[in-house]
Amino acid sequence: MYEFVDFSEVGTRRTSSSIQTIFNTMNLDELLTDQSGRFITLTVEGRSNMTNRINTVEIPGRDGLLEVEDNTLSEREITVKYQISDETNEGFRDRCNRLNALLEGSGKRLEFLDEEAHFYGTLSSNKLPDESSNILIGSLTFLCSDPTKYGPEKEATFSHDALILNNSGTSSSQPRFEIDVLQDITHFDLVKSLDQDLQFIRVGRPPLESETEYERETLIMHDNCSTTNGWTEAGEVDNGYVEGEIISEGGRFQPETVGEAIQPYEWQGPSIKRSIGKPLDSYKADFEVEIQNVDKGTGMIEAYLLDADNNTVAKVGIEDIWRTVNKNQAKFQLGNVGEDRFQHYVEAEHPWGWNNFKGLLRIWSHDHYESGKRRIRPYFALIEPDGTHNWVSSEFIYIGPQGLHDNPITQVQIAFRVWAPTNQKADMFIDDIKVYEINPPPNEGIEYIAHAGDKILIDTAREDILLNGESIRKERSFWSEYFELDPGLNELYQYPQNALETKVIYSPSYK
């Protein structure tokens, strides 16, 4: 049995502390303190320590060692000594279990209330002595593989395409650039001047005098799903039945009814279609959808692209088809059901990563201008609240001969489907539909990479570049680099002139 401690004893009562531990945005002192017990941060060790990693070579016949490179910093360890207590044995065990649960995760933000700074750490150990009492002093050890200490985020904005930024840190900082595009551009540059040297980030390239700037994609059809006017009931779906009705509610399509179960049982539900306005040989189609499947039930959302004879040219979809597991998968199909049909199924990188999917289904189809072969690529991604694309699957490309799966598309068809006898179904919605024509390049032409109103994010820490939430890092010039902000003054410039409105976000860092 534990030896119980009277909380009224001198030295055991402590209602607040200037040092409190925050891990992964969770304040341990607050979350683990209540009327029956508490967690108190006592001391923190390692925040100001620094260990250099010195590379040396022993040279025969020479005293000492030769340092062969500049020093680098070793990893940092931060140790938090804490007191944990509870009035009962059961409460003490529960409080320790909750502490361990709060410390899960790798490379999470670690900070303390007595300092405006943070680290990124992973718990390596939580040690408590023999549990002979209901009030004990333990220690948490965090490994910071990145030894840098980071200060509060700061912002600075370009003025007249230039910025003189004073970085108050003692170590280099990795900035983020948030850019609003003011006019159509074929490239953009962010440049840092270093006396006689330059560092720069370039995406795209400037046009030659002889080149024509052209639009790669032209929006042909946009339906914001605010009304079903202009849509008609579809005649069929793959391997199932068309039953029920689709309505627009709250600016989005959803199935109002799915019909009575039809035997033999198949996937069934409502389906509607509409013209896209013109036949398209090369196209991109975007469908913003949502399927809430966790603890809801099964279901599928499908988007067909049809030719003038109502044949399926291509199809994309998202579905949960498992009775006992919550899991969404995406699908991609070319052609009608039959011998020539091509199918490809894909899951998120994590099998449950697309649960409660709210994101984008996309399909590109165009001729490869050098080989003449048809290239068709599906794209699936969650869209985060800030517009960033996450859990992206876009690697698969179908390459086929001319005359197969390349009929011009003239119609869009959407379908919501459930397994006929099911009592539960996922909540399913379609929020937005866009169809673009992909234009062939002129003989001497250069494509716009961004347009007025677009938003670009450059994250130098992640080495990624996002255009409206979608990664375009492959468009970065081979010779450019993700530069850092040096301690002290930094001269920054942006090009083309008068085309960008840029904000820099950074955290001063310290060794």
Q: How far apart are CA 292 and CA 62, in angstroms?
A: 71
Does 273 share its domain with 348? Answer: yes
Does 341 share its domain with 426? Answer: yes
Q: Where are the beta strands (DSSP E) in 352-487?
A: 357-367, 374-383, 389-393, 398-400, 409-419, 427-438, 445-447, 455-459, 464-467, 470-471
> What tens digit of pLDDT does each residue of 401-437 get?
877 888 999 999 999 999 988 878 999 999 999 999 9
Please classify residue 350 by burial: count the beta carbons closer than 10 Å to its beta carbon, then call 0-12 exposed, 13-18 middle and 19+ buried. Answer: exposed
Does 230 share its domain with 257? Answer: yes
The two beta strands, 267-269 and 240-242, are parallel
Place of tokens 């009327």: 35
> What tens digit of pLDDT does each residue of 136-177 get?
999 999 999 999 999 999 999 999 999 999 999 999 999 999
Closest to 489 in 3D by CA, of 266, 165, 256, 209 = 165
How many DSSP H helices and E strands does the chain contain? 2, 43
Rounded mean pLDDT of 436-457? 92
Does 330 share its domain with 283? Answer: yes
Asked, for residue 2, whether it belongs to a domain, the answer is: no
Helix, strand, or coil here: 68? coil
Looking at every residue in the chain, the average pLDDT score rounds to: 91
Is it true that the peptide bond before 270 is cis, omega within 30 degrees of 0? no
Residue 71's pLDDT is what? 79
Closest to 300 in 3D by CA, of 287, 312, 311 = 287
In the listed set 438, 455, 471, which residue is the last one of a domain according to the structure? 438
Give me the CATH number covering residue 461.
Answer: 2.60.120.860
Does 279 share its domain with 372? Answer: yes
Instruction: Classify residue 265 by its DSSP letter.
Output: P
> What tens digit of pLDDT does each residue of 284-339 get?
999 999 999 999 999 999 999 999 999 999 999 999 999 889 999 999 999 998 87
Does 189 share its domain with 234? Answer: no
Does 208 share its domain with 232? Answer: no
Q: How far apart are CA 444 and CA 452, in angstroms?
A: 23
Q: Return the bridge partners of 494, or none.
A: 190
Containing structural domain, residue 298: 222-382+393-438
Does 289 share its domain with 254? Answer: yes
Does 185 share its domain with 232? Answer: no
In one-letter notation, the amino acid at residue 283 is Y
**Encoded tokens for 438:** 């992909």
Does 237 share its domain with 127? Answer: no
Q: How far apart are CA 145 and CA 251, in angstroms?
A: 47
Asked, for residue 7, whether it belongs to a domain, the answer is: no
Total structural domains within the chain: 3
Does 110 share its domain with 183? Answer: no
Give me the CATH number covering residue 411.
Answer: 2.60.120.200
Residue 12's pLDDT is what? 36
Q: How far apart are CA 129 and CA 122, in angstroms?
A: 22
Asked, for residue 140, whether it belongs to a domain, the answer is: yes
Does 231 share its domain with 296? Answer: yes
